[in-house]
């Protein structure tokens, strides 16, 4: 049987694993065998496979992932799979040539339903890419892809788990979305196995907060971030932000500066600020003007200062009230693919985010 905590989409994909192994036999002549599914439940392994090459057996724990379309998602998976301490194989519906190249650069084993694969152990090397997907496989993982509204609501839920059983009016205020859209987001999360319980009984709970978090981090830079009215500036003083005061502006440090304040482990070279959009006519424009004038910023489409609309209304963190929630800092760092950022993102996840998964 499939692992009990697999999402429905991953369960669907995992059932196709024998077909992926058969495709690999066609493309690379490598014999693979599904040993069992639901193997190693204690460490959340989805399945166990063996490859037989030149009389030797190579075993991999399988991680099924129905949606992989960004480098950031691969970076997150690499980090998580590395903690298992055993060879792991990422199994996906289809791996594009670009993403396959990224897997090779990270030395992350993968297999897809078209027979594309990367496997490397002592005595074993398999590298296949460019095989075209079967149109039937492209439907796996498409359903339920987050909209901007869904990402706003999900972000609020991940940051504040008590909102799972709050009124829709409270969620509307926290996520800054239309109240009529909230029910649809909850229904989608329930159908995809992320939420259990009932709204009327106020006993909703997150089943897979870590997986939901990873999905959000993957989709945020694609779907929501471009809609946050990004504007770019440059400052005469490259260290202007050290003296800047965001208090009273409805503005928060994000990106490198937030990461540095959370970890003291990064020397910022770029600046990201999220500023609250209008709640009263002209309010956001007035705050932005104050920020620009006070710090002598000038508009520059290639500037290293980016200002975006804030998309949440949540209580600020006691120790870092002028920074965005750590989940957002992590997402912005992961989206850059900068090795420095990936290292700091890992620290932020361990120090500020993962403990919340256990409290969901």
d(CA 330, CA 75): 12
Inside any domain, residue 45: yes
Element (H, E) at 21: helix 17-28
Tokens 């706003």 correspond to 152
Residue in the structure block whose two tokens are 């059983």:
165
Q: Dihedral of CA 296/301/303/308: which sign?
A: positive
One pLDDT digit (tens) per residue for the chain, 360 residues = 344 445 667 777 888 888 899 999 999 999 998 887 764 444 567 889 999 998 899 999 998 888 776 777 788 788 878 777 789 999 998 888 888 888 999 899 999 999 999 999 999 999 998 888 765 444 444 444 468 999 999 999 999 999 999 999 999 999 999 888 898 899 888 877 889 887 677 788 898 898 899 889 988 998 899 999 999 999 999 899 999 999 888 899 999 999 999 999 989 999 999 998 765 555 566 888 899 999 999 999 999 999 999 999 998 887 888 999 999 999 999 988 888 999 999 999 999 999 888 765
Give the span between the Cα atoms of 5 and 181, in whole angstroms. 27
Q: State the CATH number of the domain containing residue 160.
A: 1.10.10
- Co-location of 235 and 353 in the same domain: yes
- Collect all residues with Cβ–Cβ distance below 8 Å to 167 and sequence separation of at least 6: none
On whether residue 199 sits in a domain, the answer given is: yes
The span from the CA of 127 to the CA of 110, in Å, is: 10
In a domain, 288, yes or no: yes
CB atoms inside a 10 Å sphere around CB 123: 10
Number of domains in the chain: 3
| Of 114, 139, 164, the domain-final residue | 139
Is 171 a member of any domain? yes
Q: Quick one: which of 63, 65, 68 has its CA closest to 49? A: 63
DSSP string of 111-173, one letter each residue:
EETTS-EEEEETTEEEEE--PPPPGGGGGTTTTTPPPHHHHHHHHHHHH-GGGGGS-HHHHHH
Task: Give the count of alpha carbons within 13 A of 132, CB side only.
Answer: 2
Q: If we measure between CA atoms, which residue out of 70, 66, 125, 58 comes closest to residue 91?
A: 66
Instruction: Tell me the residue range of the domain where 40 lies.
Output: 8-139
109 and 72, same domain (yes or no): yes
Q: Beta-strand (E) ranges in 242-304?
A: 251-254, 271-275, 297-299
- Of 111, 139, 167, the residue that ends a domain is 139
234 and 201 both lie in a single domain: no
């Amino acid at each position: 049987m499939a692992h009990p905590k697999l999402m429905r989409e991953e369960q669907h994909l995992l059932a196709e694993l024998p077909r992926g192994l058969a495709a690999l036999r066609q493309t690379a002549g490598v014999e693979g065998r599904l040993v069992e599914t639901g193997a190693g439940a204690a460490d959340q392994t989805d399945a166990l496979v063996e490859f037989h090459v030149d009389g030797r057996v190579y075993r991999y724990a399988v991680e099924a992932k129905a949606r992989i379309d960004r480098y950031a998602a691969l970076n997150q998976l690499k980090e998580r799979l590395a903690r298992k301490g055993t060879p792991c194989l990422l199994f996906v519906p289809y791996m594009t040539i670009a993403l396959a190249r990224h897997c090779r650069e990270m030395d992350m084993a993968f297999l897809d339903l078209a027979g594309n694969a990367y496997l490397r152990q002592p005595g074993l090397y398999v590298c296949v890419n460019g095989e075209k997907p079967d149109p039937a496989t492209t439907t796996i993982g498409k359903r339920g892809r987050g909209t901007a509204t869904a990402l706003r609501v999900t972000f609020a839920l991940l940051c504040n788990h008590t909102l799972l059983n709050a009124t829709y009016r409270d969620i509307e205020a926290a996520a800054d979305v239309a109240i009529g859209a909230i029910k649809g987001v909850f229904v989608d999360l329930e159908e995809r196995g992320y939420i259990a319980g009932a709204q009327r009984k106020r006993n909703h709970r997150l089943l897979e907060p870590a997986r939901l978090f990873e999905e959000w981090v993957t989709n945020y830079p694609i779907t929501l971030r471009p809609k946050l009215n990004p504007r770019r500036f440059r400052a005469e003083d490259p260290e202007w932000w050290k003296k800047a005061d965001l208090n009273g502006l409805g503005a928060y440090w994000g990106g490198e500066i937030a990461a540095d304040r959370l970890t003291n482990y990064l020397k910022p070279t770029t600046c990201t600020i999220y500023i609250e959009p209008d709640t009263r006519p002209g309010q956001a424009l007035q705050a932005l003007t104050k920020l620009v004038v006070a710090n002598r910023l000038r508009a520059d489409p290639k500037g290293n200062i980016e200002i975006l609309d804030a998309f949440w209304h949540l209580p600020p963190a006691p120790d870092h009230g002028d920074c965005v929630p750590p989940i957002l800092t992590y997402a912005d760092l992961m989206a850059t693919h900068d090795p420095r950022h990936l290292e700091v993102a890992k620290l932020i996840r361990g120090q500020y985010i993962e403990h919340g998964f256990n409290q969901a």
